[in-house]
Amino acid sequence: MKNKKGLPRGLVIAGLGGGSGKSVVSVGLVALLRRMGHTVVPFKKGPDYIDAGWLSLAAGRPCFNLDPYLMDEDGMLASFAEHAADNDFVIVEGNRGLYDGVDASGTYSTAELACRLGLPVLLVVDCTKTTRTVAALVLGCKVLDPNVNIAGVVLNRIGSSRHEKIVREAVEKYTGIPVVGAIRRMKRDIFPMRHLGVTPFQEYDGSDEALQLLAETIDKSVSLADVEPLMATPVMAPRQQNSGNCGGKAVRIGVIRDAAFQFYYPENLLALERCGAELVAINSMVAEELPDIDALYIGGGFPETSARLLADNVSFRQSIRQQAALGLPIYAECGGLIYLGEKITLDGEDYPLVGLFPVHFTLEKKPQAHGYSILEARPGNPFYEPGVQIKGHEFRYSKVAAWPGRADALGFDMKRGVGFIDGRDGLIHKNVLALYTHVHAIGTPQWAPALAAKAREFAGSRGKLCSQD
């Protein structure tokens, strides 16, 4: 039965750690509820793009991030309320383990987020080669913080009917928490894996089949009749009125979105639109040149997996260089930074890139940066005033193999994190800023207005705005 609009019900899906099966349950449940005719809004705790992408595909609508570290609480809760309202269900997928945060107290953990949202937790537990011990683990989670409402348990990677019976009885006997599902051990991963974890759905030809299999798995292995009563109406912050345009004339901002560049928070794109931007989608592998735009946004992604196609599109790379020389504002993050470099070496072969910055990149076998970052803007930064501090995050395997520049010419000092080189981040060329750090518009409210303002400045320099109302 559909809920009364405006009052969604939901829960947080958490695990004991990474790889517990949260995404299998989260994506599968969202896909199943959608197939049943419900409107479902997915949320992903933390800065993750890839899991959020799969949740978005399952829901048929954007998945929004909730990150208590990157965002202030009021902004985060307002975003949740705005996007959750007028739907049937909200499903929040946690990250890492239920109580894992940035310190021993679990600050910014999934458990803390569940309490802020007023939502119960559905705990997914990997039962590989264990039985009664699962009950001890669940009981520990229950008693560690009585304010966290662990309403149900899903047993994952169950080996047999006998295995399920023992674990189910133990969990319910010692914890009093109902087991609402048991998923059998799968012979292969539904989600394709590679160096950064799960492969983005945009690069996986079998994504639709994977969604179908996930929905069928949840339908067969998890009792919706038991799950739905566990759901609750979340705490809904007052919905903020958005004024729309944050000031100034309308501008056209290009966004490169293709198999190589996929990492865009929907909130970032929405923030640009609310600043009066018309977003123009661009495919860097097929477009011959940049369209008529006033600024360019290149997000993160995996340029290394499409290096040959990117390298072969010589005219498009030249177009970016030419427009940057004319003063086109460009904001590039991580994969976008790499793309603006000179070349990347993969398995001994060099692939030419845009060549705006004389940087030679390589891809390493281990992460070169992974975690939250804090940056302070330096003089000469085209998008941020000197001294402004922003929060972001890094996750990359790429490495700067050669760069003839000076670290003191970069746009940020790293107060936390790795950055580009020598404790700094942010390559600058005229109105171009390219950095390893990803930012979120809710946590960095200066970002969208700054990019829109630069776009207007560039449009005005070409006389484009004079004829507009």
Which among 152, 48, 142, 145 is positioned nearest to 395, based on CA atoms? 48
Catalytic residue among 115, 275, 334, 466: 334
For 279-314, letters b (16+ CB in 10 Å) and e give bbebebbebeebeebbbbbbbbbbbbbbbebbbebe
d(CA 196, CA 182): 28
DSSP state of 274: H
- 3-class state of residue 275 by DSSP: coil
Residue 201 in tokens: 């759905």
- 3-class state of residue 232 by DSSP: strand
**Residue 416, strand partner residues:** 374
Q: Where are the beta strands (DSSP E) in 67-212?
A: 89-97, 121-126, 150-158, 179-184, 193-194, 197-198
Which residues neighbour 133 within 8 Å (Cβ) at sequence distance 6 or greater?
none
d(CA 65, CA 46): 6
Which residues neighbour 235 within 8 Å (Cβ) at sequence distance 6 or greater?
77, 116, 117, 118
297, 271 Cβ separation under 8 angstroms: no
Which residues neighbour 314 within 8 Å (Cβ) at sequence distance 6 or greater?
none
Backbone angles phi, psi at 342, to 5 degrees: -80, -45
d(CA 242, CA 245): 9
- Tell me whether residue 334 is one of the annotated catalytic residues: yes
- Tell me the C-alpha to C-alpha distance, in Å, between residue 7 and each of 65, 82, 224, 282: 20, 12, 19, 37
Amino acid at 442: I
Residue 346 in tokens: 């993969």
- 3-class state of residue 399 by DSSP: strand
Backbone angles phi, psi at 454, to 5 degrees: -65, -40
297, 272 Cβ separation under 8 angstroms: yes
Strands 427-429 and 432-435: antiparallel
Q: Where are the beta strands (DSSP E) in 380-419?
A: 389-396, 398-402, 412-416
Which residues neighbour 288 within 8 Å (Cβ) at sequence distance 6 or greater?
313, 315, 316, 319
DSSP state of 443: T
Residues designated as active site: 334
